[in-house]
């Protein structure tokens, strides 16, 4: 889902024009970026939290050539998933007091899918995108 | 300082105009629940200028209870990764 698809889905659900939904969605992400610029964390209950992490300079290596390179100090956003979303992506019912159950079974892609090269589980296959919710 | 959903609601009220507090709050909730629904079905989210969210499959691996040092098995699970966009990275690191 891209930002414009997010805008379309929000517009449809909230019965807004795309233009208004776009301003709202952009305002939200812009405000979050502004907060991170000020080194502020962002806490969205049920979704997750963003914090700004500061990294010291270090001597790294160019992974291709092995040459040592100096890496300047930097700050990067770090996202920690919220409890509700973590449970949902693991196929558990949402909500704190919902009874725990086994995650929904995730089947391996069937024969035709298995014949194409797979990126060894680092990326989700599209075949899996319909088995939850 | 931590920014919360209430702060985002205020911003939407100020910047978009024509929304009551309640409507703005519902709209902010809708944006995050739309994202949650997409991620729950394994969909990847790409917000240009902000970053990408992706659900990754983690296979089972041995781990330790950091409190007791006991060896335990960490079960296979899905984890969500956020990769900030290059635009956001340079916004946070001007002059690099």
Best residue of A50, A78, A81 to probe chain B, by most B CBs closer than 10 Å: A81
What is the C-alpha separation between A56 and A68, in angstroms, rounded? 16
Domains, chain B, in order of start with CATH, read 47-96 (4.10.520.10)
pLDDT, one tens digit per residue, over B15-50 is: 988 899 999 999 999 999 999 999 999 999 999 999
- Chain B residues whose CB is inside 8 A of the A56 CB are none
d(CA A28, CA B12): 7
Q: Name, in order, each residue with C-beta under 8 angstroms of A31's C-beta and a sequence gap of 6 or more.
A: B3, B7, B8, B11
Q: Taking a C-beta distance cutoff of 8 angstroms, is the pair B36, A46 a contact?
A: yes
Residue count of chain A, please give it.
133
The distance of B67 to chain A (nearest Cα, Å) reads: 21
**Alpha-carbon distance B27 to nearest alpha carbon in chain A (angstroms):** 7
Per-residue pLDDT, B14: 92
Give the H or E element holding residue A43: strand A41-44
Q: What is the dihedral of CA B12, B18, B22, B25, to 10 degrees?
A: -20
Say if the Cβ atoms of A79 and B30 lie within 8 Å. no
ipTM of the complex: 0.91
Residue A106 dihedral angles phi and psi, to the nearest 5°: -110, 110
In sequence order, what E strands does chain B have? Answer: 2-4, 45-47, 51-58, 61-64, 71-74, 77-84
Best mutation target among B20, B21, B42 (most A Cβ atoms within 10 Å) is B42
A66 backbone dihedrals φ, ψ, rounded to 5°: 80, 0
Q: Flag whether residue B54 sits within 8 Å of chain A, measured between CB atoms.
A: yes
State pLDDT tens for residues A5-57. 999 999 999 999 999 999 999 999 999 999 999 999 999 999 999 999 999 99
Full strand arrangement of the beta sheet holding B2-4: A74-81, A48-55, A41-44, B2-4
Cβ contact, residue pair A20, B57, below 8 Å: no
Question: Rounded to whole angstroms, what are the CA distances from A42 to A38, A120, A130?
Answer: 11, 33, 30
Name every chain A residue with its beta carbon within 8 A of the beta carbon of B60: none
Q: How large is the angle between the packed helices A18-37 and B21-40, nearest 10 degrees?
A: 80
pTM of the model: 0.78
């Amino acid at each position: 889902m891209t930002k414009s698809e997010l805008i379309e889905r929000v517009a449809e659900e909230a019965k807004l024009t795309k233009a208004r939904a776009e301003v709202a969605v952009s305002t939200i992400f812009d405000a979050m970026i502004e907060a991170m610029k000020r080194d502020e964390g962002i806490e969205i209950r049920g979704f997750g939290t963003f914090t700004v992490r500061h990294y010291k300079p270090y001597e790294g290596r160019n992974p291709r050539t092995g040459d040592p390179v100096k890496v300047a100090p930097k700050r990067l956003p770090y996202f920690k998933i919220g409890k509700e979303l973590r449970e949902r992506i693991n196929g558990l019912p949402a909500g704190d007091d919902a009874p725990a159950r086994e995650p929904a079974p995730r089947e391996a892609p069937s024969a035709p899918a298995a014949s194409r090269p797979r990126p060894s589980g680092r990326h989700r296959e599209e075949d899996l995108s319909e088995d939850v919710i | 300082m931590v920014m919360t959903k209430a702060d985002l609601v205020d911003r939407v009220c100020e910047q978009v105009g024509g929304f009551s507090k309640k409507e703005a709050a519902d709209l902010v909730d809708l944006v995050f629940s739309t994202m949650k629904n997409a991620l729950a079905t394994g969909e990847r989210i790409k917000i240009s200028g902000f970053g990408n969210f992706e659900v990754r499959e983690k296979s089972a691996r041995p781990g330790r209870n950091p409190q007791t040092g006991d060896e335990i098995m960490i079960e296979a699970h899905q984890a969500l990764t956020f990769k900030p966009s290059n635009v956001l990275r340079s916004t946070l690191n001007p002059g690099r």
